[in-house]
Amino acid sequence: MAFRRLAGGIILALGLNLALAAEPPATVLIGTPPQPGWSQLNAQQKNILAPLSKDWDSMEHIRKKKWLGIAERYPSMKPDEQQRMQDRMREWAALSPAERSKVRDTYKDFNQLPSEQKQVVKQKWEAYSNLSPEERQRVRESGRSSKLLAPNTPSASTAPAAAEPNSQNQ
């Protein structure tokens, strides 16, 4: 049932993300005061937001304010979360607003799933992301995603007949 909601959310996100392109409302643009430039940040903020240093001064006020808020939360994150944040910050900032908005929408729906289903999606992604682009396409075309969790994933993917019983075991 929860997966249905994710399905609905993703379809909606795919359909709307290009049209709405995630522009913040005009009231928010007007209501956000100017934020400090990179040289005005304190040492701790510079340290946390280092991956954004080059782009900082060209960022919109809203994004600067958001990152300053994230920098404030940063010390209370676990060490592995801090590491992930550092690793993903620059890449995330480099996405287009429409892409970021799409990821946020899908993530919000994903977050509503029960934790065991989230775990399944994570395991599937782990197996899937290790494949090369050609293998990914082959595995997608050859059957259900549940076979990603079969013990010998990449080789099983080439044999659709063998994948069927696996998927029923899930």
Partner 1 sequence: MNEERYAYRVRQALNHGLKDIPSATSRRLEAARHLALSRQKQAMPQMALAGFGSPSVRASSHVPYLKQILAIVALLLGMWISFYWHSVQYVTALEEVDSALLTDDLPPDAFLDNDFFEWLLDDSPEE
What residue ranges bind partner 1 (CB under 8 A)?
Answer: 3-4, 6-7, 10, 14, 24-25, 27-28, 30-33, 62, 65-66, 69-70, 73, 77, 81-82, 84-85, 88-89, 91-92, 95, 99, 102-104, 106-108, 110-111, 117-118, 121-122, 124-125, 128-129, 136-137, 140, 144-146, 167, 170
- Nearest distance in Å: CB 3, partner 1: 4
DSSP assignments along 73-128, one per residue: HGGGS-HHHHHHHHHHHHHHHHS-HHHHHHHHHHHHHHHTS-HHHHHHHHHHHHHH
- Nearest distance in Å: CB 43, partner 1: 21
- Report the alpha-carbon distance of residue 81 to residue 76 in Å, rounded: 10
- The conformation of residue 49, written as its DSSP 8-state character, comes to T
- Nearest distance in Å: CB 38, partner 1: 19
**Nearest residue (CB) to partner 1, 3 versus 38:** 3
Residue 23 DSSP SS3: coil
Q: Which two tokens stand for residue 115?
A: 């934790």
